[in-house]
């Protein structure tokens, strides 16, 4: 009907196509381009600390399981 036959259901519902997403991305890049490197750095360090916390939690859980097996 409106060229949305091959779009994922969410995209068809919102009515946003690939061209609109590219234009939106370019506008965001123009507006926030100078702040993007620091924002990406902060996002990367957040992801790394989250992964570190997950590993520490798994190690703690494994330690608890090992100590329960000894009893």
23 and 44 in a single domain? The answer is: no
Domain identity same for 64 and 39: yes
Number of domains in the chain: 2
Whole-number pLDDT of residue 1: 46
| Cα–Cα–Cα angle for 41, 30, 40, rounded to 5 degrees | 10
Residue 68: pLDDT band with limits 50, 70, 90: low
Is the distance from CB of 11 to CB of 17 less than 8 angstroms? yes
Identity of the highest mean pLDDT range in 5-9, 20-24, 66-70: 20-24
Residues 1 and 27 in one domain: yes
Same domain, 39 and 71: yes
Does residue 66 sit in the same domain as residue 41?
yes
Rounded to the nearest angstrom, the gap between the alpha carbon of residue 61 and the centroid of all alpha carbons in its chain is 26
pLDDT tens, position by position, 57-67: 888 878 776 66
SS3 23: helix
Rounded average pLDDT over 18-35 = 90
Which residue range is the domain that position 50 belongs to?
35-71
């Amino acid at each position: 009907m409106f060229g949305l036959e091959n779009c994922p259901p969410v995209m068809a519902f919102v009515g946003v196509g690939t061209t609109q997403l590219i234009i939106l991305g370019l506008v965001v890049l123009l507006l926030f381009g100078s702040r993007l490197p620091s924002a990406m750095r902060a996002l990367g360090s957040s992801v790394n600390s989250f992964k570190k916390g997950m590993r520490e939690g798994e190690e703690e859980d494994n330690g608890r399981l090992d100590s329960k097996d000894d009893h």
